[in-house]
Amino acid sequence: MIRLMKFGAVPPEEIFARAVPEIDVSAVVADILRNVRTRGDAALLEYNEKFEKAKLDALEVSAQEFDDALKATDPAFLAILERAAANIRAFHTKQVREGFRMDLGGRILGQKVLPIEKVGLCVPGGVTPLSSTVLMDAIPAKIAGCSELTMVTPPRADGTIDASILAAAKVAGVDRVFKLGGAQAVAALAYGTESVPKVDKIVGPGGAFVAEAKRQVFGCVSIDMIAGPSEVLVLADGKSDPAFVAADLLSQAEHDKLAAAVLVTDSEALAEAVQAEIERQLPLLAREEIARASVEHNGKIIVTDDLDAAVDVANAIAPEHLELCVDDPFRYLERIRNAGSVFLGRSCPEALGDYYAGANHTLPTSGTARFSSPLSVDDFVKKTQFIYYSDEALYTAADDVAAFARQEGLTGHARSVTIRKEKAK
């Protein structure tokens, strides 16, 4: 049963505790990265056979496989993919940045906003193929202008990829798809192999091995974030329906045994009703075992004296997803400082954001919303700045620049400026 605790009556370390993976995979991941970097495709094919039980002759998804996947996809679901993609495009188009130029009389300064050219997308497959992740990661990259999108997703034992993932890749405009998962997929994208092109940035979620691999290749390539277990915090008042709140908590608990589902409320009656409702709804889930482990080990219901205190708790936890199930959610939105994505009102379950609304579902986890942001078009661009000085503008600034350089003991810097001024005399 999910734990119920009174804020202020239990130690803060219990209130704000987070589940962390118990195994250290860093050494295993380092070996995988080294093997792929050294042996390329041969290592990738071996890892597919070892980890995915898939014996393949080729790593890349063929045009025929794409065609077969589209034919196998329910037309009704394909239409849903298209509608979701339209929503995602509409939202992310608003994020496009423009460069700027400052003309200052002999001085010109500015900034160019340029797309990252080659991007790799990691998409989980297996038991829960996430076609939604394809849309969320690929569409902002396309809007940014990235010229080459390479996707990796693990094959099934028969060597195929789930049709919904390939259909989503086609809808989102992914250029190439490879049958790869785990740390070996990250290695292939980071270093390149005979078949898999090297990319400039890797985005997308994964388990402990993918997260650690992204951590280790950062610097060779850029990454979006190190994603931890999924989490939701529902901030609800006593008027909320306990069945709705319980369902929203379980929607995250079913992701992973390490996922965290948290209710913060000022109503003891609601807290107790949600606790009972969770037990009633758990047997209704296809992934009951996973969800039960999540709520029993990582879930919690925190009762505060009032909603202001509940907001303070939410800001301290800095959740990936935050639901504001209150009468005037926009009033409380002004006070939210730390959250990946905020869902406003009693008719806005977190699942809307996962699939359809348009805002991104790749979000900062594990409290990193204190300093990180959701995946956006910004993640797929880089900025280059430029400076121009006329002769006269340089001579005006020369003494200041030289003095600054000498103060730092860098006389070569100073001379590179003064030599021009001296020659002009």
Residues paired with 261 in a beta bridge: 232
Task: Quick: pLDDT tens for 117-142.
Answer: 999 999 998 777 899 999 999 999 99
Q: Are 368 and 145 in contact (CB under 8 A)?
A: no
Q: What is the model's pLDDT at position 278?
A: 98
3-state secondary structure of 106: coil
CB atoms within 10 A of CB 26: 13
Same fold, 26-223 and 228-371: yes
Domain topology for 228-371 = Rossmann fold (3.40.50)
Spatial contact of 117 and 142, defined as CB atoms under 8 Å apart: no
pLDDT of residue 10: 82
For residue 75, the tally of other CB atoms under 10 A from its CB is 9
Q: Name 12's bridge partners.
A: none
| DSSP labels, 175-214 | -EEEE--HHHHHHHHHH--SSSPP-SEEE----HHHHHHH
CATH superfamily of 26-223: Nitrogenase molybdenum iron protein domain (3.40.50.1980)
Residue ranges covered by each domain of the chain: 26-223, 228-371, 390-424
First vs last Cα of the chain: how many Å apart? Answer: 84
Angle at 258 between CA 282 and CA 126, to 5 degrees: 85
Q: Which of 345, 365, 363 is nearest to 354 (CA)?
A: 363
Taking 3-state DSSP, the helix, strand and coil percentages for the chain, each rounded to the nearest 5, stand at 45, 15, 35
Q: Which strands form 201-203's sheet, in the order they lie side by side? A: 176-179, 148-153, 118-122, 201-203, 222-223
Backbone angles phi, psi at 293, to 5 degrees: -60, -40
The bridge status of strand 341-344 relative to strand 321-325 is parallel
**Per-residue confidence of the chain (425 residues) as pLDDT tens digits?**
999 999 988 888 787 777 666 688 999 999 999 999 999 999 999 999 999 999 999 999 999 999 999 999 999 999 999 999 999 999 999 999 999 999 999 999 999 999 999 999 999 987 778 999 999 999 999 999 999 999 999 999 999 999 999 999 999 999 999 999 999 999 999 999 999 999 999 999 988 899 999 999 999 999 999 988 899 999 999 999 999 999 999 999 999 899 999 999 999 999 999 999 999 999 999 999 999 999 999 999 999 999 999 999 999 999 999 999 999 999 999 999 999 999 999 999 999 999 999 999 999 999 999 999 999 999 999 999 999 999 999 999 999 999 999 999 999 999 999 999 988 76
Give the per-residue pLDDT at 22. 67
- Computed over every residue of the chain, the mean pLDDT equals 95
Give residue 400's pLDDT.
97
How many CB atoms within 10 Å of residue 109? 14
Q: Kindly state the tokens that stand for 244.
A: 């709705």
Predicted confidence (pLDDT) per residue in 108-118, tens digit:
999 999 999 99
Among 139, 158, 4, 163, smallest CA distance to 68 is for 163
* Residues labelled catalytic: 320-321
8 Å CB contact between 175 and 148:
yes
State the DSSP string of 215-252.
HHHBTTBEES----S-EEEEEE-TTS-HHHHHHHHHHH
Q: What pLDDT score does 18 carry? A: 74
The dihedral built from the CA positions of residue 311, 314, 320 and 321, taken in this order, carries a sign that is negative
- Contact between 204 and 380 (Cβ < 8 Å): no
pLDDT of residue 21: 65
